Amino acid sequence: MNDMSQLPDAGPDQTVGEIIKLAVLAVGGQGGGVLGNWIEATARAQGWACQATSVAGVAQRTGSTIYYIEMAPKTGGDPVFSLMPTAGDLDIVIGAELMEAGRAIMRGFVTPDRTTLIASSHRVLSIAEKMVPGDGVVSPEEVRAAAEIATHQLFITDLDQVATENGSVISASLFGALAGSGALPFPRDAFEAAIRTGGRGVEPSLQAFSAAYDLASDGANEPAAAPANQAPDNRPVPVAPRGPADLRAAWNALSRRVDAFPEPVKEMARAGLKKTVDFQSADYGGQYLNRLDGILARDSAENDWSLSREAAKYIANAMAYDDVIRVADLKTRGSRAARVTAEVKPAGGTVLHVTEFMHPRAEEIVGLLPAKTGARWQANFSRMKTLDRLFNRGRRVRTDSVLGFMVLFLLGGLRGWRLKTLRHAQEVAHLETWLERVADTVGRDYALAVEIVRCRRLIKGYSDTHARGNSKYDRVMNALPLLAGRNDAADWIRRLREAALQDEKGEALDGALQTIASFADETDPT
């Protein structure tokens, strides 16, 4: 056994209190490792002792990696550094996107007595946010408000945009913001020298560094700029329709019908009209307005046209359903290619390969057949099982190749065929049943009718996602008889819908339905 009392007394560590502790939180692809290397290189070049470690997340986009750095001026001895950050013990925290800053605050890494927080205000949606069937996006305003309270010094702006405008990546602009904040006691040229030693993409990186440095040194905590296509009141700038004269005339006629709607309904109705015309045709847009007219006839200004406003949104969504034709159309549009290119940001001369992962079920394949033929196929268990076996592994389609692109392009061009298909017949039948239920309810319970309209939110997406949404919708609607005559029926349908949106499996919905089932048990005379 070692006798600790025989060890020489090394005396107090002279670097205690002088160690600067810094953490970078970033998800895959944001250059957190490069940023950490630059910070470490800068400290060492200035004669400081420095140690860098990293703790990786589960996988790209599912968990952030923490790059942890401790540094101290050399005083003759070797300082003792920690391998992991500790809550309440960090001088500088860098978040490569807004939610990374939020997670740092939640973990206690950011404290108002000492921590400088540098973060980009742009968003990279997490898997947890995307998995929620409803709107799972965390409010950025909440993170900003928490950051203002929790930090000693705060710098937050869209550093991803700064990097993009200068032809670089976010690690360079984050590095510039760190240098400009003055949180590290090193001169600007020391930071720039670390970038130059990297040897790759030096000039763009230096440009992004310089732009972010200037913003941080000026303390420019600015919110993200409004999109260029928005008017001063934050409404989209109207765009004049283009195309053949007969189609423009048809669109203008439909627009005039919308102009005659009550003011609270106009904006949503115009958006719904645009969506349905884009989905199919001007005639289809006319059918949308006809259905909306039926709702308006049962509504009134007394209720601020709430039913019609909600119906304007959800009728359009129901009519513009995601079938195979729609999915193929969206995947081959020029706007999507431009968006993918903007997100990937391939370097000059780099060839971008795009692979589409398609996983249609047998129902999607049969849904393309004529309504009567498709119904016979769908009723044939053996045929459906064969189709599932053929497509159960999905298909990878390279849309950067001529053949792959043409397959989807031609499939997406089958709009004229869509209205004859089994899928369209099914969607129309479901839509009409829904609207009939609304019409039957509005006279006796206006609030309940509004909630029934909003329940169409449960149905969305394609393939398995659409099937799960339909199942949840049906389960919520099946609860209506149990709520008949109750003054709080609308509130309970709202609760059921919100429960259905909480998780993919519907466990929260199960619990809410059990509560409602207990109502019937309480009134059962037996």
For the chain, the residue count is 526
Looking at residue 223, what is its pLDDT? 47
**What's the token pair of residue 1?**
């056994």
Q: What is the pLDDT of residue 92?
A: 95
Structure tokens at 89: 């013990």
CA distance linking residue 145 with residue 168, whole number of Å: 29
Helix axes 464-477, 507-523, angle to 10 degrees: 20
With b for 16 or more beta-carbon neighbours within 10 A and e for fewer, the 13-25 pattern comes to eebeeebbbbbbb
Q: Are 428 and 276 in contact (CB under 8 A)?
A: no
Q: pTM score, two decimals?
A: 0.66
Distance of alpha carbon 78 from its chain centroid, rounded? 47
∠ CA(153), CA(159), CA(164), 5° rounding? 170
Phi, psi dihedral angles at 343 (to 5 degrees)? -75, -40
**What pLDDT is attached to residue 238?**
58
CATH class given for the domain over 20-217: alpha beta
H or E element at residue 141: helix 140-150
Half-sphere exposure of 31 (CA within 13 A, CB side): 16
Mean pLDDT, 10 residues at a time, over the chain (526 residues)? 42 59 83 90 93 72 77 84 89 89 88 92 65 60 83 90 89 94 93 86 91 85 46 53 84 94 95 95 96 95 94 96 91 88 76 83 90 93 86 75 89 93 95 95 94 92 85 92 88 91 82 81 53
Query: How many other C-beta atoms can be found within 10 angstroms of the C-beta atom of residue 158?
Result: 22
Radius of gyration of the chain measured on its C-alpha atoms: 29
